[in-house]
Structure 1
């Protein structure tokens, strides 16, 4: 089996470090993923539930 790249390990480490406990906002996670997508020129849009 091929070992994961250092980029993959960095992303996984970052994701695991994010506190996504349900009592807290997940906006940091969303912004992190949005930034990763932007690195690949993928546009994203946040929508909010009222």
Structure 2
């Protein structure tokens, strides 16, 4: 029996991090494809989230 572990706080953190990264990409006129394909992009999105 595998159960799904879910944290609202982590979901909110992920959404905020993604929003801020989109804002920075836009404000600094960076290339979104290059940023999002970088291996550390996922780490930045997960910053501060609770691991389940």
TM-score when normalising by structure 2: 0.32
